[in-house]
C-alpha cells in the first residue's frame, strides 16, 4: 500500500506508525542520495535515478520512502547542509507530488526545514535530536512524526570500540531520556518513534542481543523502527558476504523484528521484504483461525 500525503488523509502520525492497522508492520524503503553509503553509495546520486528508484520503492510496496543525503556509515564524514539540501529537496518534492509518503533521514535542522517544505511528512534522525540544538524546535513546530535513534559516538568513530555493560538496559534508558527530552521540547508523544540503532556504535554481540530483546522497548510506549538491512552483522554471520549479497539475512532480521511486534522495518529490498512479511502474516493468521 502506498500512503498518500494528501491534506484530506488521516494524520501523518497515525498513517506512518501503522496505528490505523496495528496488526501490520510497515515497510520503510531506503533511498540514499549519496556517493558513499555502505550498501549502494553513488547508485542514486543522480537526481533522475533517485526519483525513479523512490517511485519504484513505493510501487513495490514501501509505505514510506526514507530519503537521505548524508551517509552515516561507520567512518563517514559530515556533509554541509547546503549540499545535503541540494541532494534531497528536489527528490523529496517529486516523490511527495507523486503520492509517496516521504521521510527524510537527517540530523540537521536546516535540512529538516527544507525537506518538510518540499513535502516530507516525517523526520528520521540518527542522532535522536542531539546533533543540532534547533532540530527539536523544527520538529515540534511542524507537528510531524520523528524517529529517535540510539547511537554511541558519531559516525566517524562509533565503531572503533563500542562498549556496554548491559546493552539492552543502557539503550532503553537512553531512549527513555530522549523521549522525555522530545516531549519537553513540545513534541507530542504520539508523534515519537524509537529505533534501537542496530549497528550504530555496537558490536556483533550487541546487535544480536538487541534484536533478541526488541520486545522490551514496547514498554516505552512508542512505535519501534528497526533498520538492520544489509548491515555488517549480516555479513559477519554469513561468511563475510558483501553488502549486495545480504538479502536473506536482512529478511531474517526483518521477520525476527516483526515477530516481536515492531511497527516499521527500514529496508533496501522492498519487494522481497513485503513478500516475506505477507507470507509470514498469512501463516500467522491461518494459525490463529479456529478450525470449524
For the chain, report the end-to-end CA distance as a whole number of angstroms. 32
3-state secondary structure of 214: helix
Dihedral over Cα of 231, 234, 238, 244: its sign: negative
DSSP H helices, the chain, are 12-17, 47-59, 81-97, 109-118, 135-142, 167-184, 204-212, 232-236, 247-259, 270-288
* Cell reading at 291: 478450525
Residue 269 DSSP SS3: coil
Helix (H, G, I), strand (E, B), or coil: what is residue 102?
strand
Residue 253 sits at the vertex; the CA angle it makes with 259 and 57, to the nearest 5 degrees, is 100
> Closest Cα partner for 32 from 138, 113, 106?
106
Kindly name the residue from 87, 108, 231, 232 that is annotated as catalytic.
231
SS3 of residue 200 by DSSP: coil
178: annotated active-site residue: no
> What phi and psi values does residue 227 have, to the nearest 5 degrees?
-125, 95
Longest CA–CA span in the chain (Å) reads 63
- Angstrom CA distances, 212 to 23, 35, 54, 209, 239, stand at 20, 33, 31, 5, 21
Supply the angle between the helices 204-212 and 167-184 in degrees, to the nearest 10: 70
Which residue in 266, 281, 284, 291 is the catalytic one?
266
Q: Do the beta carbons of residue 41 and residue 35 sit within 8 Å?
A: yes
Strand partners, 149: 195
CA-CA distance, 33 to 189, in Å (whole number)?
A: 30
108 tagged catalytic: no
Could you list the active site residues? 231, 266
Amino acid at each position: 500500500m502506498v500512503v498518500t500525503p494528501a491534506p484530506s488523509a488521516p494524520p501523518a502520525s497515525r498513517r506512518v506508525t501503522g496505528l490505523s492497522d496495528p496488526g501490520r508492520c510497515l515497510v520503510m524503503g531506503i533511498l540514499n542520495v549519496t556517493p558513499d553509503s555502505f550498501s549502494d553509495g553513488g547508485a542514486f546520486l543522480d537526481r533522475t535515478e533517485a526519483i525513479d528508484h523512490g517511485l519504484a520503492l513505493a510501487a513495490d510496496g514501501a509505505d514510506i520512502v526514507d530519503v537521505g543525503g548524508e551517509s552515516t556509515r561507520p567512518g563517514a564524514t559530515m556533509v554541509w547542509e547546503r549540499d545535503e539540501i541540494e541532494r534531497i529537496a528536489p527528490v523529496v518534492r517529486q516523490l511527495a507530488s507523486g503520492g509517496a509518503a516521504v521521510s527524510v533521514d537527517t540530523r540537521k535542522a536546516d535540512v529538516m526545514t527544507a525537506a518538510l517544505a518540499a513535502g516530507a511528512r516525517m523526520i528520521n534522525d540518527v542522532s535522536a535530536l542531539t546533533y543540532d540544538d534547533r532540530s527539536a524546535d523544527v520538529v515540534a513546530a511542524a507537528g510531524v512524526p520523528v524517529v529517535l535513534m540510539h547511537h554511541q559516538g558519531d559516525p566517524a568513530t562509533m565503531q572503533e570500540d563500542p562498549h556496554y555493560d548491559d546493552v539492552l538496559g543502557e539503550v532503553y534508558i537512553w531512549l527513555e531520556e530522549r523521549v522525555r527530552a522530545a516531549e519537553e521540547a513540545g513534541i507530542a508523544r504520539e508523534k515519537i518513534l524509537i529505533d534501537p540503532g542496530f549497528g550504530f556504535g555496537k558490536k556483533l554481540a550487541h546487535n544480536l542481543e538487541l534484536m533478541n530483546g526488541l520486545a522490551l522497548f514496547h514498554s516505552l510506549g512508542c512505535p519501534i523502527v528497526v533498520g538492520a538491512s544489509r548491515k555488517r552483522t549480516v555479513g559477519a554471520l554469513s561468511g563475510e558476504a558483501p553488502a549486495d549479497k545480504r538479502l536473506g539475512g536482512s529478511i531474517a532480521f526483518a521477520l525476527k523484528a516483526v515477530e516481536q511486534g515492531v511497527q516499521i522495518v527500514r529496508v533496501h529490498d522492498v519487494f522481497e521484504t513485503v513478500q516475506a512479511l505477507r507470507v509470514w502474516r498469512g501463516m500467522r493468521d491461518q494459525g490463529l483461525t479456529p478450525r470449524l
